[in-house]
Structure formats: C-alpha cells, structure tokens
Amino acid sequence: MLAKRIIPCLDVKDGRVVKGVNFVNLRDAGDPVELAATYDKEGADELVFLDISASVEGRATMIEVVKQTAGEITIPFTVGGGISHVDDMKRLLRAGADKIGINTAAVKNPSLVQEGSRKFGSQCIVVAIDAKFNAEWGEWEVYTHGGRQTTGIKALEWAREVERLGAGEILLTSMDADGTKDGFDLKLTQAVSDSLGIPVIASGGAGRVEHFSDVFQQAHADAALAATIFHYKEMTIREVKDDLRRKGVEVR
C-alpha cells in the first residue's frame, strides 16, 4: 500500500525563499537549497517549489536553484509557477526537477497538459487547481493568476478534464480554507479525490496536526501540502507523521 505523503511548499522569488521561514539552525533562511535539504532530513516525502519571480532573470535563477537542489536532496520535487511551454518543462526536468506543476497556463491552453504528458510521461505533470466555492452554483469554481481571476469553470469538471488530458496528479488548493488554519477543505478534497483515478494533493488550511489525518481518512487525499505551519515550526513533519501512524495511516 502506498504511504500518504507530506509535502512542504516553498515560495521562491528570484532564487530566494519568501514568506517568513523560521528555521533556527539555518545558516541562511532564504536559501531554498538549504531549506529543501532540511525538509528532506526531517522526513518530508516530497517538496514543491513555487516560483513567483516575475522577471526573466528570476526564472533563469530558478533553473540554478533546481540544479543545486537536485544535487542535495534525496526525495522527489516539483517545480511550478509561470510555466507555459513544453520547453520550460524540459529545461526544468533536465535541471533535475521530477515533476512540473502548471496552473493558469493549463486553463489558458489545455493542450499543454497533453503535450507535456506525452513528451515526459504523466507522472511528471501535476496540474494545480485553485478552487473556491461558488454559492450560486452550489459547487467549486476554478480561479487562475494566483487566485485573482475567475474562470467560470467548474473545478470538478476541470479536474476530470485534465486527468483525461494526461495529468499525473492534481494539486488542489482550497482558496476558502487557505490561510485559515481551520483544516483542509474536506468537502472539496473528497469531491475531487473520489471522482478521479489520479492522486490528489490537498492544500490550504492546515493548522493543527489532526488536520492531516482528517484529510487522509475522511477526504481520501493521497498527499497533503502545507507551507506556513512547517516554515514557522508550528509543527514538524515528524509530529504530523507520528500522529498519522497512531491513527493507522500508512506513512513513511
């Protein structure tokens, strides 16, 4: 049986980690490579780098970060943010990334999912979906551009569509839960997870240790992603895994 995965996410801008990171033993808390290696040692099962650089130079720097990280860590990692072409994917995979995350670009150009999975294999292509409950529809809507733009697309339909196009995994962020620390969005996660044949990574809302067992046991997520709580040491990956083990959830 596959273990449930715990995935810290690092926001990287121009080669530096942004959003406060509160690791005490780091020589340089802004160095994504050192932080990645620390999470690897702490038992993270995978890492996600989200590149929020706005400039061409910033993106070039990310390639360097990916290269160095690949040489330092012993777990798989995904790189996402601003990737809109298979050539971008190729450069990042060549530099040592294991998976590529696409979000807005996939909505704008769904064939990118197909092209990427044909060229590099489904297992490399993670489609990130930012979803928010639309009360009028009674279901969730897809947002793009870092959650700033509505699309009129239903999240469940979009998830099924990208699976059909060859996505290997869905990184599902609940915009309603994100930042609340009240727990993952169990309804959204279960709705998407139960209607797909590919793994779903739940994201947004983790605030306490038990939120992780909730999203695995009640909402059937395959993996759970968090940023702030790990960066600020509000809890460690080990604490999360100990709790999961006690509750009978298989973890590494």
Partner 1 sequence: MIAIIDYGMGNLHSVSKAVERLGYEAVLTSDPQTILEADGAILPGVGAFGDAMDNLRQTKLDDVVKFYAASGKPLLGICLGMQLLFSESEEHGANDGLNLLPGKVIRFKGDFKVPHMGWNKLSFLQEQSPLFNGLTEGHVYFVHSFHAKPEQSSDLLATTDYNQQVTAIVGRSNVYGMQFHPEKSGELGMQLLGKFLELAKSKQPQ
For the chain, list the strands marked E by DSSP: 5-13, 16-17, 47-51, 77-80, 99-102, 125-134, 139-144, 149-154, 169-174, 200-203, 223-226
Nearest-angstrom CA–CA distance, 172 and 48 = 13
Q: Please tell me which residue in 45, 130, 222, 243 is annotated as part of the active site.
A: 130
- Give least dist CB 248 to partner 1, A: 15
Nearest-angstrom CA–CA distance, 131 and 202 = 11
Task: Indicate the residue among 57 and 250 with the shorter CB distance to partner 1.
Answer: 250
Task: Indicate the residue among 5 and 231 with the shorter CB distance to partner 1.
Answer: 5
- Give least dist CB 194 to partner 1, A: 13
Task: Indicate the residue among 88 and 169 with the shorter CB distance to partner 1.
Answer: 169
Is 178 noted as a catalytic residue in this protein? no
Task: Indicate the residue among 94 and 238 with the shorter CB distance to partner 1.
Answer: 94
Site for partner 1, rule CB under 8 A: 1-3, 5, 40, 43, 45, 67, 70-72, 74-76, 93-96, 98, 121-123, 168-169, 197-199, 222-223, 250, 252
Is 40 noted as a catalytic residue in this protein? no
Which residues have a Cβ under 8 Å from the Cβ of 237 and sit 6 or more positions away?
Answer: 6, 8, 39, 42, 43, 44, 230
- Give least dist CB 74 to partner 1, A: 5
**Contact predicate 32/10, CB 8 Å:** yes
What single letter denotes the amino acid at residue 206?
A: A
Query: Which sequence positions are flagged as catalytic?
Result: 11, 130
